[in-house]
Amino acid sequence: MQRVSCVHTQILEIGQPGNGAATAITFFRGQLFVGYFNGTIRAWDIRGQRAVIIREVKEHKKAVTCFALSETGQNLLSGSADKSIRVWKMAQRKLECVEVFQIKEAVQKFDIYGDKLIVLTHKNVLKFSCSARSTQTFYKSKHVKSLALSQGKAYLGCGDLSIQELDVSVESKIEIRAPTRSWRISKQPISSIVVYKDWMYCAGSQVEGSAMKDWKKRCKPTMTMSMPKGTNLEAMAVVEDFIYLTCNKSPSVIQIWLREKQQKVGRLPAGSKITSIFTANDIIFCGTETGLIKAWIPL
């Protein structure tokens, strides 16, 4: 069995004060895009361990909370607390907003399937049709806290610890994990869901994971990573051998866990409270409340 190196090396640290927390991160057309608390979006050209700001726009009125790429990869979409989703394209090396979708509530997270946007707000799950400009509301009473979309299905983590599956095309709904009603169990909502390869992981007061087919059979989770009492997991990312976590007890640190062994093997210090995490090409990025962006890669 090949030994996994748990050592990570920092490869990037960038940031300029003035825009507030770095609240969303993504890659688009080979450049690093960062959304900020004051509504600014910046694009950075990464050259080795150096980064240069090559464009900056501020059309959102409030915090940029999330990004997604169109299915063609030709457009970047940004969601905001200003109750809008903006569609951007690169035109003559400039970032231009080509469309604005007005959403009924502040956007916390969204994803794209065909013509549809599945939008997570503070209160509801919305399905927004881009062509018809119409909105449907789902799971009003479930207090949905997290969203992952895979192969046309939205997976939704709820305040009652249930997981719901919504087929975006036909609108069929399945409960793939029942609510937890025991008073003995800490009812920390499912704050993060990640679909990685053919597995799905959910995080709340602990991390649970199983093959997707086993979730749908409502089997017990194949793996469980227990946390100290009182821990509320806030964000999770899964890349190859590792699960990365942030939590309320150490908000300025990313925990590194081995995915196969469910073993904590290290930590990545961000310097201040982490406000966003993102993974690409085996690299783990984080944004902080001071606007700093850091990135690490496993050796």
Q: Which of 35, 31, 79 is nearest to 58 (CA)?
A: 35
**Chain segment 158-183, per-residue pLDDT in tens:** 988 999 999 999 889 999 998 987 65
Q: What is the pLDDT of residue 201?
A: 98
Evaluate whether 275 touches 21 at the Cβ level (below 8 Å): yes
Q: What is the pLDDT of residue 17?
A: 81
Sorting pLDDT into bands at 50, 70 and 90, what band is 267? very high
Q: What is the pLDDT of residue 6?
A: 87
**Chain segment 100-126, per-residue pLDDT in tens:** 999 989 999 999 999 999 999 998 999
Percent residues over pLDDT 90 in the chain = 83
Evaluate whether 152 touches 167 at the Cβ level (below 8 Å): yes
Give 272: exposed, middle or buried? Use CB within 10 Å, 0-12, 13-18, 19+. middle
Distance, CA of 104 to CA of 113 (rounded, Å):
20
Q: Is 0.75 surpassed by the pTM of this model?
A: yes
Domains of the chain, residue spans: 17-110+118-138
Q: Is the confidence at residue 154, as pLDDT, over 90?
A: yes
**Which residue carries 């009003």 as its tokens?**
140
Q: What is the pLDDT of residue 45?
A: 94
Mean pLDDT of the chain: 93
CATH code for the structural domain at 17-110+118-138: 2.130.10.10
How many residues does the structure list for the chain?
A: 299
Distance, CA of 180 to CA of 220 (rounded, Å):
13
Give 59: exposed, middle or buried? Use CB within 10 Å, 0-12, 13-18, 19+. middle
**Chain segment 197-222, per-residue pLDDT in tens:** 999 999 999 999 999 999 989 889 99
Lowest mean pLDDT among 83-92, 96-105, 172-181, 243-252: 172-181
Lowest mean pLDDT among 11-20, 36-45, 64-73: 11-20
Distance, CA of 102 to CA of 87 (rounded, Å):
11
Q: Is the confidence at residue 67, as pLDDT, over 90?
A: yes
**Alpha-helical runs (H) found in the chain:** 212-216
Q: What is the pLDDT of residue 100?
A: 98
Evaluate whether 232 touches 245 at the Cβ level (below 8 Å): no
The one-character DSSP state at 205 is S
Q: What is the pLDDT of residue 49?
A: 78
Q: Which residue has the higher pLDDT, 147 or 122?
A: 147
Sorting pLDDT into bands at 50, 70 and 90, what band is 1? very low
In this structure, how many other beta carbons lie within 10 angstroms of the beta carbon of residue 261? 12
**Which residue carries 């909502």 as its tokens?**
189
Q: Is the confidence at residue 187, as pLDDT, over 70?
A: no
Q: What is the pLDDT of residue 273?
A: 98
Q: What is the pLDDT of residue 153?
A: 96
